[in-house]
Structure 1
Amino acid sequence: MLPRSLPVPRTPDSQTAPRLRWGILGTGWIAEQFVRSLQRHTRQVVQAVGSRTLPTAQRAADRWGGATAYGSYAGLVADPRVDVVYIATPHHLHLPNALLAIEAGKHVLVEKPIGLSADEARTMHHAARTAGVFCMEALWTLCLPKYDVIRQLLTDGVLGEPTAVLADIGEAFAADHRILRPDLAGGPLLDLGTYPVMLATWVLGDPDIVQAVGTAATTTINGQLAITLHSPNAVAALHTTLQAVTPTTAVIAGSEATISIERFFYRTGPFALTGRDGARLEFDEPAVDHDALHFEAAEVARCIADGQTGSPLRPMADTVRTLAVMDRIREAVGITFDEAIIARR
């Protein structure tokens, strides 16, 4: 039987998070969304911004309220006023940029995926632990109030034994978008596929079998993937594409109840809990898209203020698990990264 009501989200008000001084490393679209959400919903301070050129950094600093601009990443991480660095550079630069910040003694929040492989995530984790600084993958989904309710349902056993995860994410992109560039580790897996793979590994743990097939978008870039994961008592069926707009919904099925998460399952918005007898409970929250990025920033600020080097909402062990599965997906399909990526590190 379902409970009489759904649990209440335990997510604290982001305005109550301790104030930290942030350095923003990178000035692209996701950095813009992050800073906008940070400034609207938290007391966090955007202290500095770093880019490869000073004019680019200065334009971002002007937009973001007069932060100090640096024309190099090294300049930003050397700023003694910066407490934590948000790394929003292209995927293949996450590891070297994170190591640069960590070696400077800075805490880091690194955009998802935290690296190109599980080995990169392990390297980053080891460096952060050695330096005694905080390190977390910026997988904002798991910091949302909606996912705290789902977390409680899973922990309380409301679903019974989880038996399946079904998840899909698909978007269509212009031909000149960076996701189609082999020199930037393009394709749907890292940008989009992280979300369904994260959901499956979060709910079901490590799979013993990983299978995948795909089709090409260009001669050098994978266009879509159909993925199946097998655990001793459960399966996951996942799909991601950069060639079409797909439902982008998810289902977590259990022996006693099922969670159905509506379109953009990885963002804020509604879901329904349905019991085997058809009883139904619904959760709703405003669908504010990337304006909800502040929840992850507040989580980072609270953890750092408490002296933690990681977050229980997205432990590095979970990040490594997700990337290890993605490594196996790439191997199954034959996806390789452009050699220029390796050369640029």
Structure 2
Amino acid sequence: MSDVNAAASGPAPFCLAVDAMGGDHAPDIVLAGLELAADRHPGTRVLLLGDEALLRSQLPRYPRAASMCEIRHAPSAISMEMKPTAALRLRDSSLRMAIDAVATGEAGGVVSAGNSGAMLALAKIVIKTLPGISRPAMAAVNPSARGDVVMLDLGANIACDSRNLVEFAVMGEAFAKAVLGLPSPRIGLLNVGVEELKGDERLREAAEMLRDSALSEQFHGFVEGHDITAGTTDVVVTDGFTGNIALKTGEGALKLASLLLRRVFRTNFLTKLGYLLVRPGLERMREWIDPRRYNGAVFVGLNGIVVKSHGGADAESFAAAIDVAMDAVTHGINEKIRTRLDQISAFSANGEEERATASSMAI
């Protein structure tokens, strides 16, 4: 491990900048997560931002993490309670310096388990949004009966118009291609019913725009809440208010199911015996729906990769967030978004030209 006191040297930028001081259990969990991630991503270069003295004292306990990390001292840290306006003024914080590294191109992406409001505010101002994107959205992967499903927005935008929802669909498709490896993800708009007349005007307008876009062949139409876990589509698009409630409800349902199963198998001797018989299958199910596997929400639509880990993440959870960030960086999620936006713009322009030609011929 070598010192880094200014800009990192070397032929290539860092893959990731990691905020070592963000989260409820930093920096221990951050370092432990990087230790796990090092095996999955050999050769990765990570810029680690935080209290240099503290990190140097703890990093030797994590030799694989030490081999991939270079430390840069950050004099301050943003607390979980700090308001975004105050965080914006704290230019020497570990989170701000990590985001600065992405904005300058020194790192391909940033990962933090810190204050989500501050993270989004800093990213929007420092990294800025991609051309053609009006608002970034929070996207994450969730389990379903048919495999993983991408959901967005999960809380970054409480109120959205039809244009925002179409942009979320574009970003969700790119996310599913980059992170899930799907060549042609199916897209659904979350609604109170699947019929075309269901929902409010913005949903119906967004659906019409998607049917008339370059995404038309992948657009499934409206989906309902149960379609998320059924895996009816690969991407579920909604506003941040509804998406956050759906996400938290799903997480709560998984915890409730786990609790009820434990109660059932502890009822008496026969149920305990039954547990021993089905334990291998239950262990596989637990691994499949383990929320730690799905940690790491991406603020898509920004001019750089920004990944938010749960504040209370453990080592396995934080390593999963690193995995998500690496997938987004190495598979070029932003390039996929730019390409799709260009295709939609060209598709729309061609449609307008055809309609204008048809109108003139009619006259």
Smaller-chain TM-score range? 0.3 to 0.5
Q: TM-score, normalised by structure 1?
A: 0.37
Q: TM-score, normalised by structure 2?
A: 0.36
Higher gyration radius (CA): 2
